[in-house]
Amino acid sequence: EDDRVIEDMEKLQNCFAGFRQKYRLIKRIGEGTFSTVYKAEDLLYDSYDNSWDLDRETEKWTPPPLKSFPSQSSATLDYQSQSQRRRRPKYVAIKKIYVTSSPSRILNELELLHDLRGCQSVCPLITAFRWTDQVVAILPYFRHSDFREYFRNMTVPDIAIYMRSLFTALASVHSRNILHRDIKPTNFLYDPASRRGVLVDFGLAEREGYDCKPCVCHDDPATRKSKLRPLINGEAKKGYPREDTRPSRRANRAGTRGFRAPEVLFKCTEQTTKIDIWSAGVILLTILSRRFPFFNSADDVEAMIEIATIFGRRRMQVAALLHGCMLETTIPTIGTSGFSFEGIILWSTSRNEQKDQLADDEKLAVDFLNRCMEMDPSRRISAEEALEHEFLRLGLD
Ligand code: ADP
Ligand code: MG
pLDDT in tens, the chain (397 residues): 789 999 999 999 999 999 999 999 999 999 988 999 999 999 987 654 555 667 767 767 676 655 444 443 443 334 434 444 445 679 999 999 999 999 999 999 999 999 998 898 999 999 999 999 999 999 999 999 999 999 999 999 999 999 999 999 999 999 999 999 999 999 999 999 999 999 999 999 999 988 888 899 988 888 887 776 444 443 444 555 556 666 667 888 889 999 999 999 999 999 999 999 999 999 999 999 999 999 999 999 999 999 999 999 999 999 999 998 888 888 999 999 999 999 999 999 999 988 999 999 999 999 999 999 999 999 999 999 999 999 999 999 7
Nearest-atom number in ligand 1 for the CA of 35 is 3
Q: What 3-state DSSP class applies to 315?
A: helix
Distance 30 CA to ligand 2 centre (A): 9
- Rounded to an integer, what is the distance from CA 240 to the centroid of its chain? 36
Q: ipTM strictly over 0.90?
A: yes
Cα–Cα distances (Å) from 153 to 239, 291, 294, 344, in that order, read 49, 12, 16, 18
Nearest-atom number in ligand 1 for the CA of 140 is 23
| Inter-residue contact 303 to 312 (CB < 8 Å) | no
Catalytic residue check, 276:
no
Distance 190 CA to ligand 2 centre (A): 14
Cα–Cα distances (Å) from 215 to 131, 211, 233, 324, 350, in that order, read 42, 12, 20, 8, 42
> pLDDT value at position 247?
64
Q: How far is residue 321's CA from residue 387's CA, in Å, rounded to a whole number?
A: 30
> pLDDT value at position 210?
86
- Rounded to an integer, what is the distance from CA 65 to the centroid of its chain? 30
Q: How far is residue 227's CA from residue 214's CA, in Å, rounded to a whole number?
A: 13
Residue among 8, 78, 115, 182 flagged as catalytic: 182
| Inter-residue contact 124 to 222 (CB < 8 Å) | no
Closest ligand by atom to 95 CA = 1
The model's pTM is 0.88
Distance 200 CA to ligand 1 centre (A): 6
DSSP string, 27-87: EEEEE-SSEEEEEEEETTHHHH----EEETTTTEEEPPP--PSP-HHHHHHHHHHHHHSPP
> pLDDT value at position 85?
45
> pLDDT value at position 88?
64
User: Residues with beta carbon inside 6 Å of ligand 1?
Assistant: 29-30, 32-35, 37, 93, 95, 123, 139, 141-142, 186-187, 189, 200-201, 203
| Inter-residue contact 89 to 82 (CB < 8 Å) | no
Nearest-atom number in ligand 1 for the CA of 37 is 12
> pLDDT value at position 73?
40
